[in-house]
């Protein structure tokens, strides 16, 4: 496994690095990294319904769309991100426990009782400190997650527009009560850099054939191009959010699915599917299949009956999708 080292904190370049590594190496990779203050949204989410636009504009906070599914997360100087890229794509490639175990084990050694909870969260005493997401491309899987170490929870709460359906389903009042920082549970205090070094050493020492890789000048040229052409563009981060005249949303075991549509003479003219679900295939295939379809149960069923929805919405059935569409 390659342990990739860099000091970049530009969120556009951070995600370009992940994409670059997936394309360049046929080896497993691990990376522990930080972003400057920013908001990272899931690939299938509507940016405007996830963020506090006034707050983001006032404080000039970058909003960056990931290639992975899942929900919105907040990054600042007190937050770390970790990435695993695996070339061993088997039946367990979407097993979140496989990739979060090294993190949980390292925290347990510090006397912190961390655990994987629900679909994709790491928690301490029921409070979330890490959200995780995955993306599959050909024979590789990217798994990455956040690590709230000493983040400003007030900034986090102000920057995000949390969907009430998430809070209500957990029986809690606000985002502040849902999240926590790792540093609050340390028996011996550590700085962010001390924690980073500790975590890197723990993962490195428990990995066979570990090797350090430092990003080269030529690598940076490619990374900068990916960032400029994709992750730093309005089209990528906001352009997936056209206006519609109908919106429906439901929460399932596999996550929230939000469908926005407009119509012409009762036929679907435009459709966009958002949410914090996970997908193995490009969701636009489902959207395209609905264009021009009459807006009734039978027609929509016929348009989608040959699709295996588990490939597009993990842990969400065909019946669930029909339920949110009609």
Domain end residue (candidates: 237, 268, 296): 237
Residue 183's pLDDT is what?
97
Residue 93's pLDDT is what?
64
**Do 159 and 295 fall into the same domain?**
no
Residue 172's pLDDT is what?
38
Residue 173's pLDDT is what?
44
**How much is the average pLDDT of 222-243?**
87
pLDDT digit string (tens) for 29-42? 999 999 999 999 99
Taking 70 as the threshold, does the pLDDT of residue 157 lie above it? yes
Between 45 and 186, the higher pLDDT residue:
186
**Do 213 and 257 fall into the same domain?**
no
Q: What are phi and psi of 85, to 5 degrees?
A: -115, 120
**Do 285 and 160 fall into the same domain?**
no
Between 231 and 170, the higher pLDDT residue:
231
CA dist., res. 128 & res. 184, Å (int): 13
Number of domains in the chain: 2
**Do 208 and 284 fall into the same domain?**
no
**Dihedral angle computed from the Cα positions of residues 248, 250, 254 and 256, in that order, rounded to the nearest 10 degrees:** 60
131 contacts 24 by C-beta, under 8 angstroms? no
**Do 305 and 188 fall into the same domain?**
no
**Do 167 and 54 fall into the same domain?**
yes
Residue 53's pLDDT is what?
82
**Do 197 and 308 fall into the same domain?**
no
pTM of the model: 0.80
Q: Domain range spanning residue 304?
A: 246-325
User: Residue 38 corresponds to which tokens in the numbers above?
Assistant: 């920013």
CA dist., res. 14 & res. 224, Å (int): 10
Percent of all residues in the chain with a pLDDT value above 90, rounded to a whole number:
65
pLDDT digit string (tens) for 79-135? 999 999 998 766 666 789 999 999 999 999 999 999 999 888 999 999 999 999 999
| Number of CB atoms found within 10 A of residue 174's CB | 10
pLDDT digit string (tens) for 235-280? 899 876 655 678 889 999 999 999 988 887 778 899 999 999 999 8
Residue 33's pLDDT is what?
96
Confidence of residue 163 (pLDDT cuts 50, 70, 90): low
pLDDT digit string (tens) for 285-305? 999 999 999 888 889 999 999
Domain end residue (candidates: 237, 267, 294): 237
**Do 233 and 251 fall into the same domain?**
no
**Do 256 and 227 fall into the same domain?**
no
**How much is the average pLDDT of 174-192?**
85
**Do 187 and 302 fall into the same domain?**
no
Residue 138's pLDDT is what?
82
Q: Which CATH number characterizes residue 34's domain?
A: 3.30.930.10
Confidence of residue 54 (pLDDT cuts 50, 70, 90): confident
Domain end residue (candidates: 188, 212, 237): 237
């Amino acid at each position: 496994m390659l342990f990739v080292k860099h000091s970049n904190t530009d969120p556009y370049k951070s995600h370009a690095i992940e994409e670059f590594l997936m394309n360049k190496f046929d080896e497993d990779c691990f990376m522990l990294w930080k972003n400057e203050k920013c908001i990272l949204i899931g690939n299938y989410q509507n940016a405007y319904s996830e963020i506090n636009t006034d707050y983001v504009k006032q404080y000039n906070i970058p909003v960056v769309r990931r290639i992975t599914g899942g929900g919105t997360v907040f990054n600042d100087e007190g937050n770390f991100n970790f990435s695993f890229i695996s070339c061993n794509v088997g039946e367990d490639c979407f097993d979140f426990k496989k990739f979060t175990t090294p993190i949980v084990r390292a925290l347990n050694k510090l006397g912190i009782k961390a655990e994987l909870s629900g679909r994709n969260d790491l928690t301490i005493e029921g409070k979330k400190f890490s959200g995780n997401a995955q993306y599959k491309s050909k024979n590789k899987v990217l798994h990455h997650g956040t690590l709230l170490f000493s983040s400003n929870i007030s900034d986090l709460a102000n920057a995000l527009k949390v969907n009430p359906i998430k809070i209500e389903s957990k029986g809690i009042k606000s985002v502040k009560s849902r999240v926590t920082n790792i540093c609050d549970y340390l028996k011996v205090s550590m700085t962010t850099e001390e924690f980073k070094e500790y975590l890197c050493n723990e993962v490195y020492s428990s990995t066979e054939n570990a090797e350090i890789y430092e990003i080269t000048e030529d690598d940076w040229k490619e990374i900068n191009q990916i960032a400029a052409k994709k992750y730093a563009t309005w089209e990528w981060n906001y352009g997936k959010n056209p206006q519609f005249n109908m919106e429906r949303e439901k929460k399932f075991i596999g996550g929230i699915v939000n469908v926005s549509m407009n119509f012409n003479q009762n036929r679907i003219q435009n459709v966009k599917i958002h949410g914090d679900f996970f997908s193995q295939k490009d969701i636009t295939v489902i959207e395209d299949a609905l264009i021009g379809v009459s807006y009734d149960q039978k027609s929509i069923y016929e348009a989608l009956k040959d699709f295996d929805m588990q490939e597009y919405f993990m842990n969400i059935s065909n019946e669930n999708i029909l339920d949110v569409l009609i």
